[in-house]
Structure 1
């Protein structure tokens, strides 16, 4: 998907030639979006007396992981292909308490004027076959350098604490078995994913009941 870029900005693939430059730009993008999320969370606390965000994790993908992903998708391992075809070099994960917070946070991010939403994948409404649930966004935001503005892609994952616990365990299991876990383990994971979804729904309902009682008093 091509981005509509301002005349003063450049695509990251235009003149980035080394891993050091890639690392600089993606780390800068992560710092910017992390600061934005912290400000939004603080504002929400000030206005609503409630923090929708439990915690935030940010990382730049390791070069060897990027190379593996390129090879898996049939691309040559070049800097240009890294930034053109790998959308999760910079990744940020936002962990919140309730499923309603996920969509609230996604909307707040989308409303930022200098953030362009490229794609959205809602694995909460449409879970993966494994049972994986999360809300994914690929966004682009400008990184201001001394001589130019570079638009950098960041993957944002938003999920509840329960979803994150399940996803972390599933990742460890699949890594241990190199993606070929025994069938009965995969079945157990899928059943646990349903339990997690039910728990999230019940906790959200409980929270709404508590809020309603507080409102009455």
Structure 2
């Protein structure tokens, strides 16, 4: 038992791959990270596909163990794994099939494993690209609508921005609330 560095484990699953680094920054700020036993298993070799996850071995930092509820756990180390939902899907399916390393996979399906891992990595990147596009689209459309440039497509983003910023919508809301006796300032 003395050789085990983590007796408790937590897994954080994000929607998007770029959120893994955001979570990592929070963990680094809030916990004491055991760098020697932590490992970044995200893909760094351009010829390798497959398991990808960030694993931190941590314990409560000095500020946290000052609180009575954490005092008894001062020396307890635990592992926090952070990965995207698609990285998690790969890890769970690969684990369920019982293969931990490339050498365990029968030669006949080794290429299939690599193709699937590559597809999931592409999907992870495409979801991030779409998210970034939509974030930028929302900013651009919001600016146009606030500047009263209503030459924009009608879609969820533009409608929500219009409803949130339109003086006309605000006046209609005030009149409707007043007609039924509700305080519109809520």
* TM-score after normalising by structure 2: 0.61
Matches within 5 A, 1:155-166: 155-166=79-90
RMSD: 2.3
Q: 1:192 aligns with which of 106, 113, 116?
A: 116
Q: Is residue 126 from structure 1 mapped to residue 44 from structure 2 by the alignment?
A: yes
Considering fraction of residues, name the structure with more strand: 1
Contact 2:8 2:78 in 1 (8 A): yes
Aligned to 1:205: 129
| Deviation of 1:183 (Å) | 2.0
Moved over 4 A (4+): 127-130
- 3-state SS, counterpart of residue 39 of structure 2: strand
| Deviation of 1:109 (Å) | 1.1
Matches within 5 A, 1:1-217: 82=1, 84-112=2-30, 115-119=31-35, 120-126=38-44, 131-141=50-60, 142=65, 143-145=70-72, 150-174=74-98, 180-216=104-140, 217=142
Contact 2:50 2:90 in 1 (8 A): no
Contact 1:124 1:135 in 2 (8 A): yes
Distance in 2 (alpha carbons) for counterparts of 1:182 and 1:88: 32
Distance in 1 (alpha carbons) for counterparts of 2:111 and 2:7: 31
Contact 2:7 2:76 in 1 (8 A): no
Structure 1 alignment gaps of length 5 or more: 1-81
| Deviation of 1:193 (Å) | 1.1
Structure 2 alignment gaps of length 5 or more: 143-186
The alpha-carbon distance between structure 1 residues 175 and 125, as it changes in their structure 2 partners (threshold 3 A), is: closer
Distance in 1 (alpha carbons) for counterparts of 2:43 and 2:95: 21
How many residues align structurally? 128
* TM-score after normalising by structure 1: 0.53
